[in-house]
Structure formats: C-alpha cells, structure tokens
Amino acid sequence: MKFGVVVFPGSNCDDDTVFALQHNLGQEVIKLWHKDHDLQGCDFVILPGGFSYGDYLRSGAISRFSPIMNEVIQHAKRGGYVMGICNGFQIVCEAHLLPGVLLRNIEQKFICRNIHLKAQTNQSLLTAGLDQERAYRVPIAHAEGRYFTDADTLKKLNDQEQVLFRYCDAQGNVSEAANPNGSLENIAGICNESRNVFGLMPHPERAADEALGNTDGKLILEQVLNVLV
C-alpha cells in the first residue's frame, strides 16, 4: 500500500498526516505537489487539512482546480481510494467526488478542540472494524465544517449507509448539544456510493501517537490497513 499526501499552498496538516502514516502505521508515504500531473503509483490519496489558497472564495474552491486534482478525480473514477480530511473534505466536495457542501460553522467561529464521534456503519473501508457503540475522541479545527445537502441526497446517504460518522458526546449519545458546528444530522464524515472516496472534518492524524495522549485517531486510520494490507 502506497499513500500519497497532496500538498496545496496553505496546507498545514500534510506533515502530520505523513508522520501518522509513516511513523505510527509504518506505511510508504510520499508527498504530491499540487502542480504535479502524476500520482506516482499511489494506491491511496489523502487531501490533508489546512487553509489551501487561504480559503479564498470558499474553502477548497480554488484547490479543486489545481492540476493534481485532475489525476485525483480520475483515480477515484477508476475505483482508487481518496480521503479528504477537514480542508480535504471541503476540496472533494468542491470537486463533486462527494455530495453536499461544508458551510460556515453555525456560530460563525473557528473551532479548535477535541470532540467525540461515533461510527455509523461497518459497510465502509474506514469504519469496518470500529465499535459502533464507542465514542472516539478526535480533534477538530475548522471554520467551515457544517455539512449540508438537500433532503433527497440526505435520505440517500442514510438509506445507503454512506454516513460514516456523527458527532456525539463522550457517552456516545448523538444529540444537538454534541454537534459542534451545526452539521446536518450531526454528520462528521461520509463516503460516496462506490465507497472508495471518504471525507471527514475531524483530524484522526492528530490523535495517532501516544505522545499526544490520544490514539483514537490511529484506530480510525488503521481500518484502511486492516482491509487493504
């Protein structure tokens, strides 16, 4: 398994992601510059968090047109794996690899803190082995993380088990009080119909090392290896 982490101008979680995959999970990882036209044989492409292009226009709106995204989109269409984390989630939505949009947080403030999330399905590479009764503690850091889509798409996401994670409290209760940004139905992550493109707002790579006092994010990232490696 070869991972590629795309670096856009303004990305700031690329090194965190590389470290988590390479050091904590022992995987082969390379960085892919946004002007590249070649994925260099990567099996799994990750679009990391950050503020690509300064979040001008809309978060992810400019990055969607970076040259590397042509290759990422074709990779996804061929069935290759793509995951967007935070700003990366915004980018894959802008590229129409995932449905919906990420809007400004309901309180119009940047949020940076630990939250809890709960896996909603085992019918996904990213959640296959996770305990659906457990609340996983993972950091968030975003100003535009409020997931929104139309009613028909929302029904489809629920009916087809494309909702991967929902925000919850420490006891695993999914409630309005546990929703940090106003996301529709507490949605924290989704996948596409083909289940090869994933997007989530929380940062598992920031909770993947014992030195950080939290390895819940590592458990999420490990799901990929449990199925594919």
| pLDDT digit string, tens, across residues 24-61 | 999 999 999 999 999 999 999 999 999 999 888 888 98
More confident residue, 198 or 229: 198
User: 10 Å Cβ neighbour count for 72?
Assistant: 26
Which residues participate in catalysis according to the annotation? 86, 203, 205
Q: Total structural domains in the chain?
A: 1
Domain span at residue 125 reads 2-228
User: 10 Å Cβ neighbour count for 150?
Assistant: 11
pLDDT tens digits, 70-112: 999 999 999 999 999 999 999 999 999 999 999 999 999 999 9
Q: How confident is the model at residue 229 (pLDDT cuts 50, 70, 90)?
A: low
Give me the residue label for tokens 């458990």. 219
Closest CA to 103 of 67, 147, 134: 147
CATH code, domain with 52: 3.40.50.880
Distance CA 79, CA 66 (A): 21
